[in-house]
Amino acid sequence: MNIVLGITGGIAAYKTPELVRRLRGRGADVQIVMTASAEEFVTATALQAVSGRPVRSNLWDQKAEAAMGHIELARWADVVLIAPATAEIMARLAGGAAPDLLTTLCLATEAKIAIAPAMNHVMWSNPAVQSNRELLEERGIMILGPEHGSQACGETGAGRMLEPDDIAAAVCAADLGGNATAGLLAGRTVLVTAGPTREPIDPVRYITNRSSGKMGYAMARAAAAQGARVVLISGPVNLEDPHGVEVHRVETAEQMHVETHRNISEVDIFIGAAAVSDYRPTETAPQKIKKQEETMTLKLIRSEDILASVARLDHAPFTVGFAAETENVRDYARGKLEDKRLDMIVANRVGDDCGFDHDDNTVDVLWPNGEKAFPMTAKSELAHTLIELIAERFESMRGDDTQPELSVISARD
Ligand code: C5P
């Protein structure tokens, strides 16, 4: 897939080297075209390094035009993606103006155009910008985002550029009329549980844990990026809904269990990344418990193991568990793989430098007859690698399914 990535002058341009990496990670060739104002926010040197191609910015650059003229470039593109797209570029596109290389390309191309707007939320809600958005949409331009959230200007509202991963996922998964790769999980449904659960003691207190949900959310994004339909069942976390993912919010382990089984029938791959509370109070007090005695005892009861209950189903999906351990990580994880009858387990050590609430993670992945170690990596990066491995193991097990007797033995015992 050939992508012309147009970068315009908004602060979100600082995220574009990451976007280029995400697009290339999905097999796309990326040619960058920057506007003059984009150069104020991100350097051509960085973009050239990550894209592996000289950056284009000037319509009148004779040397660059001799190598690949702007009309040739317009034909080369399967998709023209503009990220970030400012209010200015939207107005230029709406008006058909072509004062620079990027806008000229947009007029000269027959490729699909996608834009990821990014601007202050008041600008985004301005009627002029909204009427340009409508016009561009009517003309078939794909509008990706923006998201609601905190903005570089310090305010909060709708106008944040989608995360690079979400943009890359949307561009690569959408049928854009080019040679878009559908992804390793196209046509599959993946269900992910993420975050902690909250088990109420009384109306104001609960038992919970330190899970941030980051790893589960990263897994959901990465699965969506590989073309899967993704359902994310999330405990209470402070994270934005991943773009293109169906999010169901729950609080307690029991609700997560019910919601999982309500959605499990069409699922091909189940990823249990939630830190489900193992115990819950046997009773929830209807009123706030008053302090009286010097000590008090809470009676707890075991929660149902959601992951094991899914793996036990007659037509169980491919089940992947997570195991957070503070010691003997691989031994405990292999024990869980076997006890819960999983197809794969991702084991990570939790400590001061990794695991809960950190952006980085280092894991060992184990399956019935193999294992692989992954060094410390950002959770979002690691999630992509894990999803690739899951897709590979899932496909190889499906291959085994053509010999049913053997597969049951090799996969489960
Ligand atoms: O046994 P342990 O809690 O360490 O296993 C962790 C794995 O099991 C995780 O994948 C977690 O999401 C899942 N789990 C679950 N339901 C529970 C407890 C754990 O799905 N009640």
pLDDT in tens, 107-125: 999 999 999 999 999 999 9
Say yes or no: do domains 2-177 and 189-409 share a fold: yes
Question: Domain-by-domain residue ranges, the chain?
Answer: 2-177, 189-409
Nearest to 44 by CA among 57, 27, 26, 61: 57
- 10 Å Cβ neighbour count for 50? 17
Q: Is the CB of 274 under 6 A from ligand 1?
A: yes
* R_g of the chain, CA atoms, integer Å: 24
CA 295 / ligand 1 centre spacing (Å): 30
Ligand 1 within 6 A of 213 CB? no
Active site residues: 153
State the average pLDDT over residues 291-304.
95
Higher pLDDT, residue 157 or 77: 77
What mean pLDDT value characterizes the chain?
Answer: 89
For residue 284, the CA-to-ligand 1 centroid distance in Å is 23
Are 277 and 235 contacting, i.e. CB atoms less than 8 angstroms apart? no
Give CA–CA dist 80/93, Å, rounded. 12
Q: Which atom of ligand 1 is nearest to the CA of 273?
A: 12
Residue 402: per-residue pLDDT: 46
Residue 297 CA, ligand 1 centroid: distance in Å = 25
Which of 121-135, 349-363, 378-392 bottoms out in mean pLDDT, i.e. has the lowest?
A: 349-363
| Strand-strand pairing, 360-367 and 344-349 | antiparallel
Binned at pLDDT 50, 70 and 90, residue 80 comes out as very high
- Inform me whether the pLDDT recorded for 201 exceeds 80: yes
Indicate whether residue 336 lines ligand 1 (CB < 6 A): yes
In this predicted structure, the answer to whether residue 175 has a pLDDT above a threshold of 60 is no
For residue 383, pLDDT beyond 60: yes
Q: Which residue among 254, 271, 305, 327 is best mutated to probe the pocket of ligand 1, counting the most ligand atoms within 8 A of its Cβ?
A: 305
Distance CA 108, CA 275 (A): 52
Q: Tell me: pLDDT of 403 over 50.
A: no
Cα-to-chain-centroid distance, residue 226: 10
Answer yes or no: is the C-beta of 364 below 6 A from any ligand 1 atom.
no
Of all protein residues, the one whose alpha carbon is nearest to atom 17 of ligand 1 is 305
2-177: CATH topology is Rossmann fold (3.40.50)
Overall fold of domain 189-409? Rossmann fold (3.40.50)
Answer whether 195's CB lies under 8 Å from 212's CB: yes
Yes or no: say if 307 and 339 are a contact pair by the CB < 8 Å rule: no
Structural tokens at position 393: 């193991």
Q: Which secondary structure element, helix H or strand E, spans residue 362, and what is its range?
A: strand 360-367
Q: Is the CB of 307 under 6 A from ligand 1?
A: yes
The pairing of beta strand 147-150 with beta strand 199-202: unpaired
318 closest CA partner among 195, 199, 188, 149:
188
For the ranges 43-57, 106-120, 163-177, 278-292, which has the lowest average pLDDT? 163-177
CA gap 10, 20 in Å, rounded: 17
